[in-house]
Amino acid sequence: MPGTDLPIGRRVAYWRGRRKLSQQMFADRLGKSKSWVDKVERGVRKLDKLSTLQEIATVLRIDPAVLLGRDVQPAEATGRTEGVDRIRAALSRYEIPLGRPAGRRPVLPVDGMLREVGHAWTTFQHARYQQLVGLAPGLLTDAQRTHAHQPGPGRVPLVEAYRIAASLLVKLGDAELAWLAADRAMLHATGDRELVAAAAVQLGQVLRAAGRAREARSVLRVAAYRIAPPVIGYGTAAELSLCGTLLVQAALAAAQDGDEPSAAELIDEAAELAEQVGDGHDHYRTGFGPAAVELARTAATVECGDARAAIGWHEKATGRAGWRWLAAEHRAAHLLDAARAYLHADDPASAARVLLDAQRTAPAEVRHRPVARDLLAQLADDPYAPTTITQLAVALGVG
């Protein structure tokens, strides 16, 4: 976006260019002459009437404040950065292994700590990321203290706290710090098959976010087959959900690595397990079931470059009853994949519609995720983008 020190005429010219409007097209929409527009942009003619400013802003589909040099910045940006710094600080403390006193803060019993991590997971699944950014540092500290006092039963909430932190940091685009949290989860889960499988889900997500798709696929496949029951029909719902989720993540890693046949094969394996589990369950916070597998097909297919097929899977998945039972975070993340598919299929209108659906489903998914902001920037550049898209881009400081 132009700096706040630019003259208003230069700002008009900038946004006219962003909207891909010639001076004549812009003049026609305003009911003015091309000469009038040229003089405004060169600063020869002043814009001193509020009504004229509002008309220009309407045509350019921006807030009038932007023309006046009052660019809207995302209000939560500073708070988000500070929150991530506090999570980093919590992950960097070593009071427990160094034997330092825990201070005056009481140590929560295991059942109390489990309630805390349960609340944090619910917060994440409702995509209340800013709230969770504030909760995470204390959650990590409390889980570490509980584990120090009760190492056996305290291991579960500690692993879950690290899983939550890793998932949140992936959403916020900090793959490096998320990797540290996922690594801690894996280390503390060692010795418990289900906990290792659960922690491996976040590790796979982190590796994919870090661009290490091949390593992610390898880790995820091993973890999936390690938790897989010998006979599918006799596996517990938790085992099937963890195995299926790991296979889905492995498929997404294969798609990211350009291996379309492997991606399809892995998702087909996951689909068999999903039929056993059914929709409407959330074992180990996976949300695994037939609907989740079809959402994964959309993501894998768009990653492989077949936008039309991805759109078909999206339409099928969102028509299932299980779609409504998925967490808001899961649904909104899928809608971003669908928006990418529509954009790649040269259908920006549908991409904009789906992106706005994601915004309504889970606003933080659009505010905080880099992929969503990139999509929004691309859509806002379209001269025929809906006014709501442009307003959202301006409100979030996306340009």
Element (H, E) at 353: helix 348-361
Q: What is the pLDDT of residue 81?
A: 67
Q: Tell me whether residue 164 is in a domain.
A: yes
- Residues, the chain, total? 399
Instruction: Judge contact between 117 and 143, C-beta under 8 A.
Output: yes
Give the CATH number for residue 39: 1.10.260.40
Taking the C-alpha atoms of residue 253 and residue 278, their distance in angstroms, rounded to an integer, is 24
Q: Are residues 200 and 124 in the same domain?
A: yes
Q: Are residues 160 and 227 in the same domain?
A: yes
Q: What is the pLDDT of residue 6?
A: 67
Q: What is the pLDDT of residue 11?
A: 85
Question: What band does 77 get if pLDDT is binned at 50, 70 and 90?
Answer: low
Taking the C-alpha atoms of residue 71 and residue 334, their distance in angstroms, rounded to an integer, is 30
Q: Are residues 297 and 331 in the same domain?
A: no
Instruction: Judge contact between 89 and 129, C-beta under 8 A.
Output: no
- Reading the block at residue 223, the tokens are 């973890």
Taking the C-alpha atoms of residue 158 and residue 163, their distance in angstroms, rounded to an integer, is 9
Number of domains in the chain: 3
Residue 130: other Cβ atoms inside 10 A: 17
Q: Tell me whether residue 366 is in a domain.
A: yes
- Reading the block at residue 195, the tokens are 């906990």
Cα distances from 271 to residues 170, 240, 241, 289, 384, in angstroms, run 25, 11, 11, 8, 39
DSSP 8-state class, residue 325: G
Boundaries of domain holding 52:
8-67
Q: Tell me whether residue 314 is in a domain.
A: no
pTM for the structure as a whole: 0.80
Checking if the pLDDT of 54 tops 90, the result is no
Domain limit, last residue, from 38, 67, 96: 67
Taking the C-alpha atoms of residue 161 and residue 136, their distance in angstroms, rounded to an integer, is 8
Q: What is the pLDDT of residue 9?
A: 86
DSSP 8-state class, residue 150: S
Domain limit, last residue, from 254, 271, 304: 304
Taking the C-alpha atoms of residue 66 and residue 336, their distance in angstroms, rounded to an integer, is 27
Q: Tell me whether residue 89 is in a domain.
A: yes
Question: What band does 308 get if pLDDT is binned at 50, 70 and 90?
Answer: very high
Q: Are residues 214 and 292 in the same domain?
A: yes
Q: Tell me whether residue 140 is in a domain.
A: yes
Q: Are residues 93 and 121 in the same domain?
A: yes
Instruction: Judge contact between 320 and 279, C-beta under 8 A.
Output: yes
Q: Are residues 124 and 224 in the same domain?
A: yes
What are the pLDDT digits (tens) for 78-122? 456 677 889 999 998 877 777 665 566 789 999 999 999 999 999
Q: Tell me whether residue 295 is in a domain.
A: yes
DSSP 8-state class, residue 268: H
Question: What band does 73 get if pLDDT is binned at 50, 70 and 90?
Answer: very low
Q: What is the CA radius of gyration of the chain?
A: 24
What are the pLDDT digits (tens) for 239-285? 999 999 999 999 999 999 999 999 999 999 999 999 999 999 999 99
